[in-house]
Amino acid sequence: MVQQAIGRLRSVRRFEDRPVPDDVLRAILDAGRRAQSSKNTQPWAFVVVQDRDRLETLATYGPYAGHLAGAAAGVFLVSDAGDAYDIGQATSFLMLAALEHGVGSCIAWIGDQDGAKALLGVPPERNLVYALSFGYAAADWTPTKMGGRRPLDDVVHWEQW
C-alpha cells in the first residue's frame, strides 16, 4: 500500500475553494508528528494557517510559494537549526497522509524566513524554510505523468560506486 501511495503522490498547486474538515486536517498533522527523527528529538512544530489573507501574504514569501494563496490550509514547518533531514521526514508523512484522505498538497520554499516568522510569531532562533499547501484539487487540475525519473539501475550502486 505504501509503495502504491508513493507512486500516486503528485504535487497539487491549484485547489477548490472549500475547507479541509478539521478531523481530516488533524489526522494529517498527527501523521507528521509521528515521523521518525534523529534520536527521537522531534525537532518540529507546525503552524497551521487557514486565513485567506494571511495565506495570500505568505504566498509572496517564496518564489514558488504561490500555491499557498489558494490552499485550504498552509502548514509551516518550524524546526531547530540543522534539522533539514528530520523536517523532510515529517513533510513526507504529512503529504502521504493527505493523499490517503484525498487531499492534495505541495511543498513551498520560504525564501523570506524573517518575514514569515514575524507574521506567524515564530521565535527568531527557529528555522522556517518550508511550508506545505493542502486542499482538494481543483476540477481543472490534471496530474502530470510521473516522468523523467531515472531508471533504478542508474540510481542504485551495489556495494560501491
The CATH number that domain 2-139 falls under is 3.40.109.10
Strand ranges inside the chain, DSSP E: 44-49, 73-79, 104-109, 127-135
pLDDT band with cut points at 50, 70 and 90 for residue 61: very high
The string of pLDDT tens digits covering residues 30-57 is 999 999 888 887 889 999 999 999 999 9
6, pLDDT greater than 90: no
Q: What percentage of the chain carries pLDDT values higher than 90? A: 73
84, pLDDT greater than 80: no
pTM, two decimal places = 0.90
Phi-psi region of 27 (alpha: psi -120 to 50; beta: other; left: phi over 0): alpha
* Cα(77)–Cα(96) distance, integer angstroms: 16
Higher pLDDT, 81 or 94: 94
**Average pLDDT value over all residues in the chain:** 91
Among residues 7, 20, 3, 1, which one has the least CA distance to residue 104?
Answer: 20
Compute the chain's Rg from CA coordinates.
16
CB distance 36 to 85 below 8 Å = no
Greatest mean pLDDT range, 30-44, 58-72, 133-147: 58-72
